[in-house]
Amino acid sequence: MPDYIIGIDLGTTNSALAYALAAAEESAKVELFQIIQLVNPGEIASVDLLPSSLYIPGPSEFVEGTLALPWDAKPQYITGHLARKRGVENASRLVASAKSWLSHQNADPTQPLLPLAAPEGVQKISPVEASRQYLLHLRSAWDAAHPEQKLEHQTVLITVPASFDAAARELTQRAAQQAGYPEVTIIEEPQAAFYAWIERNPNWREQVKPGDLILVVDIGGGTTDFTLISVTEKGGELQLERVAVGEHLLLGGDNMDLALARYAEQQFAQKGTKLDAIQFHSLWQQCRAAKERLLSDGPGSPDEQALTILGRGTGLVGGTIRGKITREEVRNLLVDGFFPVVSSDAAPQRQRRAALMEAGLNYAADPAVTKHLAQFLRQAGNVPPTHLLLNGGVLQAAAIEQRLFEVINSWQSVPVTELQNESKRADLMHAVAYGAAYYGLAKTGKGVRIRGGIPRTYYVGIESSLPAVPGLPAPMKALTVAPFGLEEGSKVELPQRRFALVVGEPAEFRFFSSLARKTDPPGALIEEITDELEELAPIEVLLPAKDGDREEVVPVTLESNVTETGMLELWCVAADGRRWKLEFNVRERAAAAA
């Protein structure tokens, strides 16, 4: 039996680990783990956050032995604080925001893509490998501190954005498996943030009542997530149910860093200095650090941050470019640029894009978070939230927090109530890890669980049985195989419908999902595929036939289930007992057959 329940926030900018004793009583306390890492060459410290930064050192860049860790005398990569610090000085060897690439629709996250700015001769790694390295560092640090309770023998939960599709979740699980983790459970970040609030507020039932609607706004380094949680009552007990999840938005601290870098670049240009691509990338990383320092409201926070760019070519020191950015400039740029005051009917602008673009992340076209929020609330039924829970390092800035409340309250007649704790900074930076560990306790009956299941409805395409028409494909229908809210570990059988399954030759399966259609029951056949259904990448697979390679058409019924790890599975069941399994692993366009 595991000794600990471990919750990991595998963040875009920072990662964290929290834990609780598995055998503890119902009032189990969740603790934050201090992560051993390099903070300078030859200097190790235990810190409560592991920056999600990976640095690929060059030959002889560091004195031999200065990168040694307690578990690895000669690490191939640097992760954490030193990686982020060194990356500011040499951005061409820095891997950052790897997590955002796991959900990229137009790139293969298993291929070596990062660092994007790496020149010829610098090794690149895949986003999955970068994620594995962060998880491996966390595992190694835990094992060093708990040699008798190694992480591979514990219960582990890892958080992902609520808007991550099945493929991105599977890639996260794959990275964990490759890092030597046990089978992990996936939990959505906004839910984890809310679980953390429950864990730190034993009197939570006194703060909300049946009929309340809680809006969770989670703005991290790479993504913005919106979730609505409804408070209901059953048998005199308060219950929580997730009722809506927003679209996948690549909009967060990375965008803000870039905005600051573009602003600083203009200041340099006005002084007659034009930056090249490598210099600009270095400026971008410096602006990330400047944002974190200048948005801090703690005592001793600086009023400005120096920006230093090395010159190019010979005479680097003499060609050093210096500038600065002030706290007021940062706040004005970020508050007005990303959180403008808008009306409740506002919608994100769709930008017309060029046919050819550089390979990169599919960032949201409109950076106005408040416009995306307004659209989300309308799509969720336009019911005003009664409470607001904020999460993510960006929301440490009081000015941004105040602007969000100002905008939301302008949309409704009754002001929204904030859910918060005494130590707000700790909540914003560590809540997701805390909440993941608490959820692990809740699954064992030692806490409150939020009902909600999968955040969207899933469908499989069914080709119509009609006479062939020259030049036109057969019409496609959509069968509901996993309804919105299907709980993890649940199974759905569809014995009332039989379909013809082609085995023994390559075949293509088409899958669809919908955030808008929440009431389609299992087995419902949608006659027309409209814009409400988003098509996922098709799966091509050869399912084995009974007699070797001979093509066969087999009558089957369907079963679907959501595993405890959050993966969606579709089973095709023949009358003779044969079963074929398809996993929603759309990234590889392949499926496992069993």
Q: Could you report the per-residue pLDDT of 274-317, keeping only the tens digit for each? A: 888 778 877 887 888 888 788 776 667 788 888 888 776 544 44
pLDDT on residue 469: 57
User: Quick one: DSSP state of residue 394?
Assistant: G
Q: With the CA atoms of 73, 78, 83 and 88 taken in that order, what torsion angle do they form, in degrees rounded to the nearest 10? A: 110
Domain boundary among 287, 311, 338: 338
Exposure b/e, 133-155, CB count within 10 A at least 16 = b: bbbbbbbbbbbeebeeeebeebb
Number of domains in the chain: 2
Residue 331 in this model has a pLDDT that exceeds 70: yes
- pLDDT tier at 588 (50, 70, 90 boundaries)? very low
Whether residue 528 lies inside any domain: the answer is: yes
CA distance 362 to 254: 12
CA distance 282 to 288: 10
Q: In terms of DSSP H, where are the helices of 76-119?
A: 81-89, 98-101
Backbone angles phi, psi at 405, to 5 degrees: -65, -40
Give the rounded percent of residues in the chain with a pLDDT score beyond 90: 41
- pLDDT tier at 466 (50, 70, 90 boundaries)? low
Exposure b/e, 231-247, CB count within 10 A at least 16 = b: beeeeeeeebebbbbbb
pLDDT on residue 143: 98
CA distance 271 to 252: 30
Whether residue 103 lies inside any domain: the answer is: no
Q: Could you report the per-residue pLDDT of 523-580, keeping only the tens digit for each? A: 899 988 888 898 887 777 888 887 666 788 889 988 888 775 556 788 888 888 888 8
Cβ pair 512, 533 in contact under 8 A = yes
Contacts of 408 (CB under 8 A, 6+ apart): 215, 373, 385, 388, 416
**Cα 313 to chain centroid, rounded:** 39
Residue 423 class from Cβ within 10 Å (0-12 exposed, 13-18 middle, 19+ buried)?
exposed
pLDDT on residue 297: 67
Residue 28 class from Cβ within 10 Å (0-12 exposed, 13-18 middle, 19+ buried)?
buried
Cβ pair 340, 368 in contact under 8 A = yes
**Which residue type, as a one-letter code, is found at position 19?**
Y
pLDDT, average across residues 249-264 = 88
Domain boundary among 338, 353, 370: 338
Detail the DSSP E strand segments found in 29-89. Answer: 31-32, 35-40, 43-47, 50-51, 53-55, 78-79
Exposure b/e, 334-368, CB count within 10 A at least 16 = b: bbebbbeebebebebeeeeeeeeeeeebebbebbb
Residue 406 in this model has a pLDDT that exceeds 80: yes
Whether residue 287 lies inside any domain: the answer is: yes
- Among the ranges given (50-54, 163-167, 399-403), the one the predictor scored with the smallest mean pLDDT: 163-167
Which secondary-structure segment (H or E) carries 518?
none
Range of the structural domain that residue 257 is part of: 253-338
Which residue's structure tokens are 């040699």? 147
Which residue's structure tokens are 């938005």? 249
The CATH number of residue 279's host domain is 3.90.640.10
pLDDT on residue 440: 92
More confident residue, 55 or 562: 55
More confident residue, 512 or 321: 512
Whether residue 490 lies inside any domain: the answer is: yes
Whether residue 154 lies inside any domain: the answer is: no
Residue 91 in this model has a pLDDT that exceeds 50: yes
pLDDT on residue 467: 64
Nearest of 412, 354, 362, 364 to residue 387 by alpha carbon: 412
Domain boundary among 284, 312, 338: 338
pLDDT on residue 24: 67
Whether residue 139 lies inside any domain: the answer is: no
Whether residue 156 lies inside any domain: the answer is: no
pLDDT on residue 431: 92
pLDDT on residue 317: 47
Residue 592 in this model has a pLDDT that exceeds 60: no
pLDDT on residue 586: 29
Residue 108 in this model has a pLDDT that exceeds 70: yes
pLDDT on residue 351: 64
More confident residue, 308 or 440: 440
Whether residue 572 lies inside any domain: the answer is: yes
- pLDDT tier at 116 (50, 70, 90 boundaries)? confident
- Among the ranges given (98-107, 333-342, 491-500, 558-567), the one the predictor scored with the smallest mean pLDDT: 558-567
**Which residue type, as a one-letter code, is found at position 467?**
P
Token readout for 410 is 């302008």
What 3-state DSSP class applies to 201?
coil
Residue 162 in this model has a pLDDT that exceeds 50: yes
Average model confidence (pLDDT) across the chain: 85
Which residue's structure tokens are 């595998």? 10
Q: Could you report the per-residue pLDDT of 491-515, keeping only the tens digit for each? A: 887 767 788 888 888 888 888 988 7
Residue 142 in this model has a pLDDT that exceeds 60: yes
Sort strands 155-160 and 534-535 into parallel, antiparallel or unpaired. unpaired
Sort strands 417-418 and 387-391 into parallel, antiparallel or unpaired. parallel
Q: Could you report the per-residue pLDDT of 179-213, keeping only the tens digit for each? A: 999 999 988 888 899 999 998 888 888 899 999 99
- pLDDT tier at 20 (50, 70, 90 boundaries)? very high
pLDDT on residue 476: 86
Backbone angles phi, psi at 417, to 5 degrees: -100, 135
pTM: 0.77
What 3-state DSSP class applies to 47?
strand
